[in-house]
Amino acid sequence: MKARPIIFDTDPGIDDATAITIAVRNPELDVKLLSTVGANVEVEKTTLNALKLTEFLGVDIPVARGCGEPLIRKLRPCPEVHGITGMDGYEFPPVTGKPLEKHAVEAMRDVIMNSEEKITLVVIGTHTNIAILFRMYPEVKDRIEEIVTMGGGLTGGNTNSTAEFNIYNDPHAAAMVFNSGVPVTMLGLNVTNEARLYREDAEAIDASGRAGHMIYSLLNHYRDAFLDGGLRIHDSVAVAYILRPDLFKTEMLPIEIALEGPAAGTTVCDFRAMQRGEKEANVKVVTEVDPEGYKQWIIDEFRRED
């Protein structure tokens, strides 16, 4: 079977690191590029972290540095969640490589236009790079299979009571992407909050080998590590969805992103307007996950040989 070509647009980030590590090690996926954005921490740090990961994993995947600031709003990073480096908790060797000379938007364009097969964009940070990509190079849209994004939700936020972090940081960019005409699958907090790992699961990841130990060490520094309620590794759920759609349920729903006011960054789903025929569904929304299946899946992924 031919591996599915993907680009990660990412802000590593401890849960980003988990998602990337799983994807890079899975032969069903062909990771063509890591394009970085500033969000969890500043873009200099997320870019360095992406390089730390590719070098640790021993893979030749280019890293391209993207936007450091949202389109309009001011960035609100969260080092309290991921640590001051964005990936606190593991001593990576000093990085020897460099990001590409070109900007992430240019790098994405080149990968997308030069790929024989359509690319899947896995967006696990803010949507700033993708909004600019679509504005500068609209021709890429036809060459994208799907955008799978971790962001938003149907049941409340994690940055404030209604907005999720990735959408909150750049709602204008997210709105451009959601309304771009490219098929978007939104995997939000309503699902990632249900996909939890517990201490024994994390210990199984630790025992699985070198990659598992690295991720376990980072997870120990992740803000809600090992609270009794379980650990939410949001971005890794997006990779689970791509590889194991059988673990999820989806529904086409009308999603609008609030751009102004105290609820800015909220993904508003107007079910009633859809039922009344006043709004059309525009986004495939992941609505359910099989939590047990997800837990087993993630442990099995780390049990692949290093």
In one-letter notation, the amino acid at residue 266 is T
The rounded distance, in Å, linking the Cα atoms of 150 and 167 is 9
Beta bridge partners of 34: 8, 63
Q: How many residues bind Ca ion (CB under 5 A)?
A: 6
Compute the least distance from the CB of residue 267 to ligand BDR, in Å: 12
Helix (H, G, I), strand (E, B) or coil at 285: strand
Q: CB nearer to ligand BDR: give 14 or 283.
A: 14
Q: CB nearer to Ca ion: give 166 or 180.
A: 166
Restricted to residues 179-238, the positions that interact with Ca ion (CB under 5 A) are 235
The rounded distance, in Å, linking the Cα atoms of 134 and 132 is 5
Beta bridge partners of 248: 289
Compute the least distance from the CB of residue 265 to ligand BDR, in Å: 11
Q: Can 234 be counted among the known catalytic residues?
A: yes
Compute the least distance from the CB of residue 252 to ligand BDR, in Å: 23
Stretch that binds Ca ion, among 9-17, 61-69, 86-94, 138-146 (CB under 5 A): 9-17
Closest alpha carbon to 36 in 59, 5, 55, 62: 62
Two structure tokens written together for 132: 């600019």
Compute the least distance from the CB of residue 233 to ligand BDR, in Å: 9
Taking CB within 5 to 8 Å according to partner kind, which of Ca ion, ligand BDR, none is near residue 164?
ligand BDR
Stretch that binds ligand BDR, among 12-20, 216-224, 264-272, 273-281 (CB under 6 A): 12-20
The rounded distance, in Å, linking the Cα atoms of 60 and 73 is 34
Closest alpha carbon to 194 in 293, 289, 295: 289
Restricted to residues 149-188, the positions that interact with ligand BDR (CB under 6 A) are 150, 158, 164-166
- Residue 13 binds to ligand BDR (criterion: CB under 6 A): yes
- Residue 124 binds to Ca ion (criterion: CB under 5 A): yes
Stretch that binds Ca ion, among 4-12, 70-78, 211-219, 284-292 (CB under 5 A): 4-12
- Residue 16 binds to ligand BDR (criterion: CB under 6 A): yes
Q: Which residues, in sequence order, are CB contacts of 75 under 8 Å at separation 6+? A: 38, 39, 42, 68, 69, 169
Taking CB within 5 to 8 Å according to partner kind, which of Ca ion, ligand BDR, none is near residue 234?
ligand BDR
Q: Does a cis peptide bond (omega within 30 degrees of 0) precede residue 125?
A: no
Two structure tokens written together for 200: 């024994």
Q: CB nearer to ligand BDR: give 54 or 110.
A: 54
The rounded distance, in Å, linking the Cα atoms of 261 and 174 is 16
If residue 275 lies in a helix (H) or strand (E), which one and from where to where?
helix 271-275
In the set 6, 9, 16, 187, which binds Ca ion (CB under 5 A)?
16
Comparing every residue's Cβ against ligand BDR, the nearest one is 165
Listed in order, strand segments (DSSP E) in the chain are: 4-10, 29-36, 63-65, 119-123, 144-150, 184-187, 196-197, 231-232, 248-253, 255-257, 267-269, 283-289
Compute the least distance from the CB of residue 116 to ligand BDR, in Å: 30
Taking CB within 5 to 8 Å according to partner kind, which of Ca ion, ligand BDR, none is near residue 110?
none
Cβ atoms within 10 Å, residue 105: 23
The rounded distance, in Å, linking the Cα atoms of 286 and 154 is 10
State the catalytic residues. Answer: 234
Q: Which residues bind Ca ion (CB under 5 A)?
A: 11, 13, 16, 124-125, 235
Q: Which residues bind ligand BDR (CB under 6 A)?
A: 13, 15-16, 40, 78, 81, 124, 150, 158, 164-166, 234-235
